[in-house]
Structure 1
């Protein structure tokens, strides 16, 4: 139920909705000009102030591309992954490809308010796509989208409030990005031995992997049902928590049983992990993994620091060694061909145990700061989403100052 002074309309009633086009790629004279040309990959809940590609006046004349003024809202009608349904606002005059819907609001409507509203409707918009193997939006769907229409001054006030939250989120995201960069630089410098600590000058040594770690090959005879998978962000995590279901086979007796602080190496390469990922079990007391994983733990008779090696593996300092034993071109369904024998004879470049502990302490502090900033970003996003659900639906009304109230009279 909308407030009495609000109304409901379709987007097509309050805006002109169209799309752009792509000049002929076979004609070089159409490309490399000075006219910005937006693709859906650049539509990311942002204000667009520049584009990767630009077209010429000839490309504009001889294609369906159109110039759109600053303040035009763009919506990705189709594209890879999460692209479909994302929105952006033009901060410059630009053209677009045909996969972008261009939404030019009519007089009396605020582009920032509707940018916030359409961003808020992202998940719902994605569900409006055409049925098929790849759901897409189209101009007809976008024009028929119902939208709330508050009075203009209230649109502006709501947009200003939500924009202030966006600024707070962006500021915290920048702080997080800087913290992550500092952490990466710190890890590389101290884990490689390039940066040393006062009083810790013992020469680093090379050790065989199996001199520090022992292989785990314990089968799941205790009928543990906590099947684990490796996530880049979460490490070893239960499939039930990650997929909301278990995707493992019903018979888990052949799986390897792990306990807290054990490691597992997934030989499957992925973005950020070109030689596979090594992750420790931290979130649970125990769990089981596929026998395709190579599992190991620190030897009890070796003085070594768990956190040091957790960071050592995460920094990719074992990648060059693994690359040296992975058979050239022998990749089976995305898995590197790494033998158990070769893996446990890899060389580790390590300092003394006291220096390991000092390095781990410093990195842990840096990563804790990073985690805190990450939590702040998530909290700000959640708080903004809650506020959007109130302000953009009229459930919570904005207050105007006396000056603003007089201006509306």
Structure 2
């Protein structure tokens, strides 16, 4: 159903036919790309609906002058011409001089419509599905101007209404971007702390003495300070709604109707590519090719969890296999560990635990913002919820 005053149209009509393919290979050759110059944007540079020219290939200024008809301007919409054909980016105001690359298509909306509003509409799942279904080519999907011209759109009653909708949604985007930045900063700070605290370069304050912890760290093997074992369960033994947590190599959260262990443990998959550990306390089931490190001696479980995670390059170096990397029990047992006294371990672990909680809180906040934006898009981009323009509600 089309809301009052809104209109069904197409990208070709919105752009008054102003759609254009990037320069062909005969116009721009690979050997002409340089380290400095004018960025030439390709599909890989279209990230998160924005154009990222930092990673783009570049050409000399004089060649950019030769190809000036491919210059990108504020308000242009840049689409991927091959591969992920649903990928696109909006060229924002004051964007540095850049060109539409060979692998892209450029669409320039007319002045009657808000490019930012259109960019939000293009984020809809229905648009992505249409682009994927209408692309040509079996091995690699391809898009062309003829197809893109027919892309169906629904626009608001006026440029003013579109601008107002875009402004509301962009406010949420700013909150999302700010939260993402905070998460990135928090993770960077945690990594820096790990580099300092897990190597002994920085010592924390000992609450007993009021001074920094002192003394050499003890060099041990993981097998000498813990019990390391695998489970005997298969993935077929797990489900999504049973009572106990089930650990295997997968990222999804599985459960089991039985438990093999009731303990604090550091869990590491025996197969994979990264071997990121998990920390768990309680009853759990374990896959036959997943390892549980338990029953810690002279060591604090949470400290070992962070230590193993930081030094997991040891596992990457030890793993065998070409297609799927695998770990064996002796590799775990022989892992070298530098161990401070238990009180310092606890203090170090508490610092990282606080950092993890802060990151988790920010990630929860980010998920909330994304969900709210999604709900608003559903209301505003369909006209179900109308906005006020010049103090009068558009209805």
CA contact (8 A) 1:120 1:385 kept: no
Residues 1:134 and 1:213: Cα distance change in structure 2 (over 3 Å): farther
For 1:241-256, list aligned pairs within 5 A: none
**Alignment partner of 1:40 out of 33, 39, 43:** 43
Between the aligned partners of 2:146 and 2:260, the Cα distance in structure 1 is 54
Residue in structure 2 matched with residue 187 of structure 1 by the alignment: 194
CA contact (8 A) 2:270 2:328 kept: no
Between the aligned partners of 2:315 and 2:385, the Cα distance in structure 1 is 59
State yes or no: 1:266 paired with 2:269.
Answer: yes
Report the alpha carbon displacement of residue 68 of structure 1 after superposing the two structures with TM: 3.0
CA contact (8 A) 2:21 2:144 kept: no
Residue in structure 2 matched with residue 19 of structure 1 by the alignment: 21
State yes or no: 1:400 paired with 2:389.
Answer: yes
Encode CA deviations 1:15-43: one digit per residue, 9 max, x unaligned: 12222025544544x64563331111111
> Which runs of at least 4 in structure 1 moved beyond 6 Å after TM superposition?
61-65
CA contact (8 A) 1:225 1:288 kept: no
State yes or no: 1:359 paired with 2:378.
Answer: no
Count of aligned positions: 369
Residues 1:305 and 1:155: Cα distance change in structure 2 (over 3 Å): same
CA contact (8 A) 1:258 1:289 kept: no
CA contact (8 A) 1:208 1:348 kept: yes
Report the alpha carbon displacement of residue 182 of structure 1 after superposing the two structures with TM: 0.9
Between the aligned partners of 2:146 and 2:379, the Cα distance in structure 1 is 28
Which runs of no fewer than 5 residues in structure 2 stay unpaired? 207-212, 240-245
**Alignment partner of 2:313 out of 303, 313, 319:** 319
Using the size of structure 1 for normalisation, the TM-score is 0.79
Residues 1:334 and 1:219: Cα distance change in structure 2 (over 3 Å): closer
Between the aligned partners of 2:179 and 2:161, the Cα distance in structure 1 is 28
Report the alpha carbon displacement of residue 280 of structure 1 after superposing the two structures with TM: 3.7
Between the aligned partners of 1:297 and 1:32, the Cα distance in structure 2 is 49
**Alignment partner of 1:116 out of 91, 102, 120:** 120
**Alignment partner of 1:349 out of 313, 338, 349:** 338
State yes or no: 1:203 paired with 2:220.
Answer: no
For 1:205-284, list aligned pairs within 5 A: 205-220=218-233, 224-226=237-239, 228-230=247-249, 237-238=253-254, 257=260, 261-268=264-271, 270=273, 273=274, 276-281=275-280
Residues 1:176 and 1:225: Cα distance change in structure 2 (over 3 Å): closer
RMSD, aligned CA: 3.3
Between the aligned partners of 1:401 and 1:46, the Cα distance in structure 2 is 29
**Alignment partner of 1:143 out of 149, 152, 158:** 149
Between the aligned partners of 1:321 and 1:118, the Cα distance in structure 2 is 43
Between the aligned partners of 1:260 and 1:131, the Cα distance in structure 2 is 54
Report the alpha carbon displacement of residue 218 of structure 1 after superposing the two structures with TM: 4.7
Residues 1:393 and 1:56: Cα distance change in structure 2 (over 3 Å): same
Encode CA deviations 1:70-121: one digit per residue, 9 max, x unaligned: 2111122333xxx431221223343222322211112311111101111234
Residues 1:360 and 1:106: Cα distance change in structure 2 (over 3 Å): same
CA contact (8 A) 1:20 1:64 kept: no
